[in-house]
Amino acid sequence: MKIIDGKAVAESIKSEIAQKVAQRIKQGKKKPHLAAVLVGNDGASETYVKSKVKNCEKVGFDSTLLHFEESISEEELLKEIKKLNNNSAINGFIVQLPLPKHIDEQKIIQAILPEKDVDGFHPVNVGKMVLEIPSLLPATPYGITLLLKHYNIPTEGKNCVVIGRSHIVGTPMSILMSRNTYPGNATVTLAHSRTKNLKEICRQADILIAAVGKAKLITEDMIKDGAVVIDVGIHRIKDDSKKSGYRLVGDVDFENVAQKCSYITPVPGGVGPMTITALLQNTLTACEMQEK
């Protein structure tokens, strides 16, 4: 069994991005610039956004954090999105989700210029992904494809089961795994909360990707011997032995499942670091595309 070291892969891709930025500067080109929009004071969202901004600095990007009050209206937020769309100094931006209930997330996502949509959530980018036209891919699924590529994990002709059909993880992941390319060419099953016989379906999986949002839902008896298991879930569970009082676990019962796998991602240190790396890669791609 091999542990997929997302942290190490992320560091290596980030150092490649940093080299490309250094090269750009030598050639007299500008640094890629990522902006992040944060609304309200949700602790987890704040942590994610700050980490994204910090990672920009690490690879030599410019970054801007726009933090708005929870009470900002949809109309005002749309105006801010318009400003970012029109600001030629900014190559890409993200709007951290979830947004407060009075703001329609789809309306906000659709207001982002597809060329600057480095989260890859805009319908134009989703459509391009489906049609296999080069585009900005959703960060978490894109990060997972980078992991599979890094470890040369065969995907062609494999049975791939994706659990979870969210628009940001499960659904795009299932599309990427079924595309006619590598990683891809898998026979994909997309499972969700209405799926019957989840255990039997999972046991058929050569590649199992769990994006369910339920701590340790995936247990050893659901795993085929030698399967590749990718765990997207992140959950805090109480642990008094830790200074923080909690530890992180995934959707997969790692300790018991790991013994049956050929490859498995840990939580933390698996998919998580790759999401930010994919976002940085998208920002560099957006910057290069805007120069063409």
Nearer to ligand NAP, 24 or 266 (CB): 266
Least distance from ligand NAP to the Cβ atom of residue 117, Å = 17
**Residue ranges binding ligand NAP (CB under 6 A):** 140, 163-166, 168-170, 191-195, 198, 211-214, 217, 232-234, 271-272, 275
> E strands along 206-260, which residues?
207-210, 227-231, 235-238, 246-249
Least distance from ligand NAP to the Cβ atom of residue 25, Å = 29
Q: How far is CA 97 from CA 3, 24, 103, 178, 238, in A?
A: 30, 31, 11, 27, 25
Least distance from ligand NAP to the Cβ atom of residue 143, Å = 7
* Pairing verdict, β 207-210 and 159-163: parallel
Nearer to ligand NAP, 78 or 234 (CB): 234
Cα angle 101, 95, 68; round to 5: 70
Nearer to ligand NAP, 8 or 89 (CB): 8
Residues forming the active site: 52, 96, 119
- Tell me how far apart the terminal alpha carbons of the chain are, to the nearest angstrom: 44
Least distance from ligand NAP to the Cβ atom of residue 223, Å = 15
Q: Which residue is nearest to ligand NAP (CB)?
A: 166
Beta-carbon contacts of residue 241 (< 8 Å; ≥ 6 apart):
none
Beta-carbon contacts of residue 119 (< 8 Å; ≥ 6 apart):
94, 95, 136, 138, 139, 168, 279, 282
Nearer to ligand NAP, 39 or 210 (CB): 210
277 within 8 A of 146, measured Cβ to Cβ: yes
